[in-house]
Amino acid sequence: MTGQFPITFLMLTNFICSKYFLFCETQYNTERMSSQLFYGDNLEVLQKYIADESVDLCYVDPPFNSQRNYNQIYTNTGHDDIAQSQAFVDTWTWGISAEIQLDELRKNPFYHSELVETVLGFERILGKGSLLSYLVNMAVRFAEIWRVLKPTGSFYVHCDPTASHYLKILLDAVFCARGGDFRNEIIWHYYNKMHDYRKKMFPRASDTILFYVKDADSGFVFNQLKEQREQSVRQLARKKIDGVMKNARDENGKLIYRMSTDKTMDNVWTIPCLQPAAKERLGYSTQKPLALLERIIKASSNEGDVVLDAFCGCGTTVDAAQSLKRKWIGIDITYQAVSLILKRLKDRYGKKIINKITLSGIPKDLESASALAHKQDDRLRKEFEKWAILTYTDNQAKINDKKGADKGIDGIAYILGGTVLFSVKSGHVSVKDIRDFARVIERENAAAGVFITLEEPTKPMLQEAAVFGNLPDPPGLKLTKKIPKLQIVTIQEMMDGAVMDLPVPEAVVKSAAKNGTKNKNPEMNFD
């Protein structure tokens, strides 16, 4: 035991010191900054960058342990109208990462005994498998969210029957064991979802949202909401509501059978899910409607409060928070999500909104880009490619996430006249890479190709790319400048502001709308 004491004491000392300095640094930042978007693992971001008791409301829509791969849908006007690219993988296996987190739960004094015993109880019941791996991952993140919430703060967890009962036990251990309270199980009823009625079960048309507060005695924020519901005049008359009978006829004397009345909102929320053709749709499989998040934010926060979404996906929470005049913090581990959020905010609030957001974790110089390229974590092995392609194209490309050989194609976008292929290299490059990529472009009958490299290209590489020639004019249009068919773009050029210079359909439509009435010749300039 004596041999173990110095290690335990050192761990405790380091933990306390790191938390103290972290609090000083991040508390200062939280007070100064408006809204923040983090690209990275939410556990690391929570631990390093979010201060104790700095958040008023947290909503999370974590993976449900559904054992599915979720895809982002890109709507294009090229040859392939709908293309899919993997957004995140909701599959869990027991491995070294889960083992390390379980060991950390046991040893780190930050995790209180009720939570540790709950997780160890799950281990005894479930064994070390995919479900326990999922629950361990959620446990450490819920504990960090508890830490960053203010005493008056609230926490909403979106889940489904796959693991909701396990998550509630975890949340009871995190919140209720330390003075918090479980307030509601909210049922989100989406009546308009299409179902497969061939299955021998009742079609599922609801999700569960678990609502907790950090301190039951703190006077936590809760704004009682009203909603309009239709009732018959006869029902209202039975309730002796004033003015019902005189309003039973409209101004033309026509008999009214039903009237809208304000009713206190209960825990069953009937809000339609997003259909494929909905205006809000961004092509993100797990996207939730703005109306759902607006209701949560209105109920448990006030203007100027800080709203956190640690699994922010396509950014519905941050969009709703922005529109309701809240500060917000969004975190996601995939650059596809971060890129989509930035595009979503720019489309709705204008390009200037980006200047009001603090972006963290996104490469801002060659050194940080190189660090992302050489991360060893298996989950992040393609993140450099995703970041490079989506940044360069402003989220107008899809990522090739096929397992195994990618046939030399890391991404694809659609332009007038065909497709453009992308190849991203983070290591040593030579003229051979350009020749190989040129063969891929010809093999796939693509219109153009973009070769993105961390290293500076050699002179022979530039010469080889030039041999490929220029992009021909698209049918019915005339380009105002020569565009190389095989382009070499360096990461440094991207850092300096280089963006895709190819006739993307969206740009053509905008250019036509701007210049079409002035110019007889359909010549297009591309911004």
pTM above 0.85, yes or no: no
Q: What is the identity of the amino acid at 170?
A: L
What number is the average pLDDT over the span 47-52? Answer: 95
CA–CA separation, 295 and 313 (whole Å): 19
Q: At what angle do helices 113-126 and 164-174 cross, to 10 degrees?
A: 150
Residue 113 corresponds to which tokens in the numbers above? 């005994």
In tens, the pLDDT along 218-230 reads 899 999 998 876 6
Q: Please give the C-alpha separations between residue 204 and each of 90, 134, 166, 171, in angstroms, as whole numbers.
A: 20, 23, 19, 24
Q: Map residue 207 onto helix, strand or coil.
A: strand
* Confidence at residue 84, expressed as pLDDT on a 0 to 100 scale: 33
In tens, the pLDDT along 228-270 reads 766 555 555 555 555 455 556 666 766 666 656 678 899 999 9
Q: Does the pLDDT at position 319 exceed 90?
A: yes
Beta strands 306-309 and 55-60: pairing type? parallel
Q: Does the pLDDT at position 522 exceed 80?
A: no
CA–CA separation, 264 and 228 (whole Å): 9
Q: Does the pLDDT at position 320 exceed 90?
A: yes
Is CATH 3.20.20.10 what the domain over 31-220+266-362 is classified as, yes or no? Answer: no
In tens, the pLDDT along 286-312 reads 899 999 999 999 999 999 999 999 999
CA–CA separation, 361 and 50 (whole Å): 14
Q: Does the pLDDT at position 66 exceed 50?
A: no
Residue 192 corresponds to which tokens in the numbers above? 């308009």
Categorize the per-residue pLDDT at 213 as very low, low, confident or very high, splitting at 50, 70 and 90.
Answer: very high
Q: How far is CA 333 from the centre of its chain?
A: 8
Beta strands 418-425 and 478-479: pairing type? unpaired
In tens, the pLDDT along 335-372 reads 889 989 999 999 999 989 988 999 998 888 899 889 88
Q: CB within 8 A of 209, min separation 6: which ones?
A: 156, 157, 158, 159, 185, 186, 187, 188, 296
* Confidence at residue 504, expressed as pLDDT on a 0 to 100 scale: 74
Q: Which of 150, 215, 134 is nearest to 178 (CA)?
A: 215
Q: Torsions phi, psi of 450, nearest 5?
A: -125, 125
CA–CA separation, 511 and 526 (whole Å): 7
Please state which of the four CATH numbers 3.30.390, 3.40.1350, 2.30.130, 3.30.750 is assigned to the domain occupying 387-524. 3.40.1350
Residue limits of CATH 3.40.50.150 in the chain: 31-220+266-362
Q: Does the pLDDT at position 332 exceed 80?
A: yes
Q: At what angle do helices 164-174 and 130-148 cross, to 10 degrees?
A: 40
Q: What is the identity of the amino acid at 340?
A: L
HEC profile of 459-483: HHHHHHHHHCCECCCCCCCEECCCC
Give the residues across from 206 on adjacent strands.
Answer: 189
